[in-house]
C-alpha cells in the first residue's frame, strides 16, 4: 500500500499543489448523475468566503430582458419559464427551466473576458444574466452551444458591489438527455467544451486542465486513495469517483439521496477556513435538480432540512404566470415541497455595468 501510494499518488499530489498554490478561487462543485431509464440528476454546491444571501424565484415565459450593458446590449423575451437561485437578488447563480435545462455558474479566477466597448459593434451581456439567458432561451445543451458559438455578444463583468471581488465565472449546462457543456472565457476567447461525458466541474484551473488532472487519478483506484482537501482539483477527483460509485438506479428517492451525498462529500464544512487560502470557503447552499421528474431541491447550510419545488405544480404561462419568490435570505425555515409558499413579487434588477 505504501509503495503504491508513493509511486502513483505522490506525483499527482505535487501536480495539484503546483496548479492550486497560487489560486484564490471561490470553491464550488457541480456534478451530473446518469442512472438507468433516463434518470439525470445535476447537483452543485455554492461555496463563498462571505455571506451570499439566496432566494428562489419563479420566472414565467414572456419576460422581456436586456443584457444590462447600456445601449449596446443584447435583448430577448424569455421562451421558457424557470426556477432559479439568486445571489443578493442581483444575479442568478443556478436554475432549471421547464424543459429540464440546468445552468450553474461557478467561480473561475483564471477567467479573462474580452474587451467590451459600449459604442462598439458587439453587444454585451452582463455576467449576472449569463445563466438566465441560457434558461430563458434554450431547451437543450446542443441548442445552447450552437447559439453561443455564433458569439453574437460577449459576457461583460465587473466587481461585486461593495467588494473588491472581480466577478470571474464559468458556466455549465446539462439537460435531461445527459448532454453537458462547459463555457469559459480564457485569454479573452470563449471556449466551449461540449460532450455528454463532462459531468463534473469545479473551479480553477481551467476545465481542460481539470480533465488532465482527473485522467491521472483514474489510474489510481478510488477505494485505495482519494485526495481529501477542499481545493478544487481534489473535489473534482472525489466527485468524479463517487458519482460513478453510488447506486445506479431509477429509484428517484435513492438516486436523489445518493447525489445529495456526493455533493455533500465535496462541500466545505461550515465555518472552515484554510490558512493561506482565504478563498477556499464554507459551503453556503446546495442544489439537486432531478431533470427526469422535474423537481428542484435546495439545501441551505444553516437550515435543518432541504426544500424542493415540483414543476408540475407551477404555472409558467405568459398570460397567467407571475414572477414569484420564496424568501430564504433571512434563514426562513420551510419543509418539503414549497411551490405553494412562493409569493408574487416584483422581479429584482440584474446587476449591470
Tell me if residue 306 falls in helix, strand or coil: coil
Tell me if residue 2 falls in helix, strand or coil: helix
Cell triple for residue 114? 474580452
Length of the chain, in residues:
353
Distance CA 23, CA 293 (A): 38
Cell triple for residue 125? 451581456
Q: What is the 3-state secondary structure (H, E, C) of 316-351?
A: CCCCCCCCEEECCCCCCCCCEECHHHCEECCCCCCC
Contacts of 133 (CB under 8 A, 6+ apart): 65, 67, 74, 76, 125
Helix ranges, 246-309 (H)? 252-265
Is 28 known to be catalytic? yes
- Judge contact between 185 and 114, C-beta under 8 A: yes
Q: Residue 233: in which H helix or E strand, if any?
A: helix 232-245
Given the residues 9, 16, 25, 28, select the one marked as catalytic.
Answer: 28
Residues serving a catalytic function are 28
Amino acid at each position: 500500500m505504501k509503495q503504491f501510494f508513493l509511486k502513483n499518488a505522490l506525483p499527482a499530489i505535487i501536480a495539484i499543489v503546483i496548479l492550486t498554490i497560487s489560486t484564490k478561487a471561490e470553491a464550488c462543485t457541480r456534478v451530473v448523475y446518469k442512472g438507468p431509464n433516463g434518470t439525470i440528476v445535476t447537483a452543485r454546491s455554492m461555496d463563498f468566503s462571505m455571506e451570499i444571501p439566496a432566494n428562489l424565484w419563479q420566472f414565467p415565459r414572456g419576460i422581456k430582458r436586456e443584457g444590462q450593458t447600456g445601449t449596446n446590449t443584447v435583448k430577448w423575451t424569455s421562451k421558457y419559464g424557470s426556477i432559479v437561485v439568486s445571489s443578493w437578488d442581483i444575479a442568478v447563480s443556478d436554475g432549471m427551466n421547464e424543459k429540464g435545462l440546468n445552468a450553474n455558474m461557478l467561480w473561475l479566477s483564471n477567467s479573462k473576458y474580452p474587451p467590451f466597448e459600449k459604442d462598439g459593434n458587439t453587444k454585451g451581456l452582463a455576467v449576472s444574466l449569463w445563466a438566465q439567458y441560457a434558461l430563458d432561451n434554450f431547451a437543450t445543451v446542443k441548442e445552447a452551444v450552437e447559439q453561443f458559438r455564433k458569439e453574437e455578444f460577449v459576457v461583460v463583468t465587473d466587481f461585486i458591489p461593495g467588494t473588491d471581488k472581480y466577478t470571474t465565472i464559468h458556466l455549465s449546462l446539462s439537460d435531461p438527455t445527459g448532454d453537458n457543456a462547459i463555457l469559459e472565457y480564457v485569454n479573452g476567447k470563449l471556449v466551449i467544451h461540449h460532450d455528454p461525458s463532462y459531468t463534473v466541474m469545479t473551479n480553477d484551473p481551467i476545465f481542460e486542465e481539470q480533465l488532465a488532472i482527473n485522467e491521472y487519478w483514474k489510474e489510481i483506484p478510488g477505494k485505495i486513495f482519494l485526495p481529501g482537501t477542499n481545493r478544487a482539483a481534489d473535489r473534482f477527483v472525489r466527485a468524479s469517483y463517487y458519482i460513478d460509485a453510488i447506486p445506479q438506479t431509477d429509484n428517484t428517492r435513492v438516486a436523489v439521496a445518493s447525489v445529495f451525498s456526493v455533493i455533500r462529500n465535496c462541500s466545505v464544512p461550515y465555518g472552515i477556513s484554510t490558512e493561506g487560502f482565504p478563498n477556499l470557503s464554507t459551503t453556503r447552499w446546495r442544489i439537486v435538480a432531478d431533470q427526469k421528474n422535474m423537481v428542484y431541491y435546495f439545501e441551505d447550510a444553516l437550515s435543518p432540512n432541504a426544500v424542493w419545488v415540483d414543476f408540475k405544480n407551477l404555472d409558467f404561462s405568459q398570460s397567467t404566470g407571475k414572477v414569484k419568490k420564496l424568501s430564504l435570505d433571512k434563514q426562513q425555515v420551510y419543509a418539503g415541497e414549497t411551490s405553494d409558499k412562493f409569493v408574487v413579487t416584483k422581479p429584482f434588477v440584474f446587476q449591470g455595468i
